[in-house]
Amino acid sequence: MGKSKLDGVLKAKKQANKPIFVPYIMAGDGGMNNLNNRIQFLEEAGASAIELGLPFSDPVADGPVIQDAGQRALANKTTISSVLEELEKYKLQRNIPIVLMTYINPVWKYGFDQFARDCSKAGVDGIIIPDIPMEEEDDVAFSLTQHEIAFIRLAAMTSTEDRLERIAKRSEGFLYAVSVTGTTGERAQHEKDAYHFLKRLKQVSYVPVLAGFGISTAERARELSAACDGVVVGSKIVQLFEQGDEEAISSLIQESIGVEVIK
């Protein structure tokens, strides 16, 4: 497989010892006409890459904030095709890698090879599919590999050592470490086991390890980044966009990656 833009950007950050920050937004939430503006804003604010959710009616990995965003996006008639068309329209204007997060049912219905082909055409750099187990991923993985799109795997704290090693060795772009047990959403604190888990994954992963789920403050992002290579922040970013507070989003990103914010 060729190296995607995602591989190059994240490995450069890792080698420079700079924390990686990947914000999550829901495509179609706030209207499709706002998608490119939000991507540009997040890039300028210091994001390393952007995780872009595709709305789905049964989002088993998502907490209430992202579920609500998905419902708003579905009400706006957002589809996989409409998102990819919008991404393709502006792909030459953006430098930041785009990672799509979706579920296996809509991808299966779309067709694995057609999905991978259209993602490549739209300038998508990586895919996350949280509800497909490693044992059943071969067909979709093959299609993504054919189109040089990174297939990002998730690793859970409940998995065995052997399974974590196998997941880590298969992951491309980055390894998404689920640092809580449960769905996405804010947490008052992370279990102490999470830090041990992240350090353990770093020992076996060829790609950067990013902690996700339950991160809502810059302080928590910095704490977890000290044990791995960076973080993915979703619910807080989605919530702040819904509230129209872009200044808070910019501060969260910059404080998380250690940029001094002048207020």
- In order of their start, the domains of the chain are 5-256 (3.20.20.70)
Q: Strands of 126-128's sheet, edge to edge? A: 150-152, 126-128, 98-101, 50-53, 20-26, 230-233, 209-212, 175-178, 154-156
Sorting pLDDT into bands at 50, 70 and 90, what band is 41? very high
pLDDT in tens, 180-200: 765 454 444 446 788 889 999
pLDDT in tens, 135-160: 999 999 999 999 999 999 999 988 99
Give the tokens for residue 5.
């833009």
Residue 60 above 90 pLDDT? Answer: no
Answer yes or no: 62 catalytic: yes
Distances (CA, A) of 18 to 8, 109, 198: 14, 39, 17
CA dihedral for 36, 261, 234, 138, sign (positive or negative): positive
Answer yes or no: 113 catalytic: no
Residue 5: what pLDDT?
A: 84
**Mean pLDDT value of segment 223-248:** 95
Longest dimension (CA), the chain: 50
Active-site option among 7, 51, 86, 172: 51
**Mean pLDDT value of segment 62-71:** 90
pLDDT in tens, 82-112: 999 999 999 999 999 999 999 999 999 999 9
pTM of this structure: 0.92
Active-site option among 7, 29, 58, 62: 62
DSSP H or E stretch at residue 67: helix 64-75
